[in-house]
Structure 1
Amino acid sequence: MSIDEQIKAYFAAQPEPKRSDMEELHRIILEVMPKCRLWFLDGKDDSGKTVSNPNVGYGTQTIKYANGNTREFYQVGISANTIGISVYILGIEDRKYLAQAYGKDLGKAKITGYCIKFKALSDIRIETLKAAIRYGVDQTAI
């Protein structure tokens, strides 16, 4: 199955209204990052054990570990969670930045480090989320 097919199947497996919100969020992120690489991670490790929720990734960056190793990974990700949707904006050094810069204007969302969680798209301001995504992508494009 192609990555696009995996993403569509993942969204289709979500209950409404989460399904529609995730499809709309996917469209919004592709609007912000039109030529980005798409990723789909099923949440399983190499042995097939579930270690996280499945997630869709957008863009690419090189993550550098303390031991000197590097790994290619996405810049922005989305995942369904038990109460709604999580948006991950990876690669921002300051773990307080997202909450400080976008928290007041974002709406009903919980922001921790690099994760923005909300129940429904209607609970947040889309333009503020787009600005946070653009900031994160700019940080990892350096």
Structure 2
Amino acid sequence: MSANKTTATKMDVAAFIRSSDPKKVEDSFTLVALMERLSGEKATMWGPSIIGFGKYHYKYASGREGDMCRIGFSPRKDKFSLYVLDCDEKDQLALVKDLGKVTMTVSCIYFKKLADLDMGVLEKLITLSLERTKVKWG
């Protein structure tokens, strides 16, 4: 089995944010503050472009295992990527519908700017994801 490409690094989060798209800098620092408050964890770089908070160890039935951040985001060139666990569950899907202008995949939500989101709904979604990750992976 190949090694996981996304692992925690010692890269400086603030320096990474300042080097990203200038239109995303303020929103990125706002997300860092929000996620640090909700998770109780300091921001850490995961791989070259994901800002993560906390970590958990997973092991799939296939035998693949590794560590990943409990929640995270990345200020990608076109859109932000928000990484949460199990956002395909019914209650989280309902929250995503109320979140604002987003698109999504199984565990990733994409948006252009925080102004497009309902921040109260975002907090609920992140909190629920943190709770689910703890229940599922410890």
Q: Give the TM-score band, short-chain normalised.
A: 0.7 to 0.9
Supply the RMSD in Å over aligned alpha carbons: 2.1
Residue equivalent to 2:24? 18
Q: With a CA cutoff of 8 Å and minimum separation of 6, indicate the structure with the bigger relative contact order.
A: 2
Residue equivalent to 2:78? 83
- Counterpart residue type for residue 30 of structure 2: E
For residues 37-116 of structure 1, the aligned pairs below 5 Å read: 38-43=43-48, 54-90=49-85, 92=86, 95=88, 97=90, 100-116=93-109
- Counterpart residue type for residue 106 of structure 2: G
Deviation at 1:96, TM superposition (A): 5.0
Q: Which runs of 5+ in 2 are unaligned?
A: 1-8
Percent identity reads 24
Query: How many positions carry a matched residue from both structures?
Result: 127
- Counterpart residue type for residue 11 of structure 1: I
- Counterpart residue type for residue 132 of structure 1: L
- Counterpart residue type for residue 55 of structure 1: I
Q: Compute the TM-score of the two structures, normalised by the length of structure 2.
A: 0.80
Residue equivalent to 1:27? 33
Question: Are 1:62 and 1:73, in contact at CA under 8 Å, matched by a contact in 2?
Answer: yes
- Counterpart residue type for residue 20 of structure 2: Q
Partner SS state of residue 67, structure 1 = coil
Corresponding position: 1:130 with 2:123: yes
Q: Which runs of 5+ in 1 are unaligned?
A: 44-53
Deviation at 1:127, TM superposition (A): 1.1
Q: Compute the TM-score of the two structures, normalised by the length of structure 1.
A: 0.78
Question: Are 1:59 and 1:75, in contact at CA under 8 Å, matched by a contact in 2?
Answer: yes
Whole-angstrom distance in 2 between the partners of 1:100 and 1:21: 23
Deviation string, structure 1 residues 6-60 (Cα, Å, up to 9, x no partner): 10111000232211111111111112112x25431233xxxxxxxxxx1111112
Partner SS state of residue 17, structure 1 = helix
Question: Are 2:13 and 2:43, in contact at CA under 8 Å, matched by a contact in 1?
Answer: no
Q: From the superposition, tell whether residues 37 and 73 of structure 1 become closer, same or farther in structure 2 (CA, over 3 Å).
A: farther
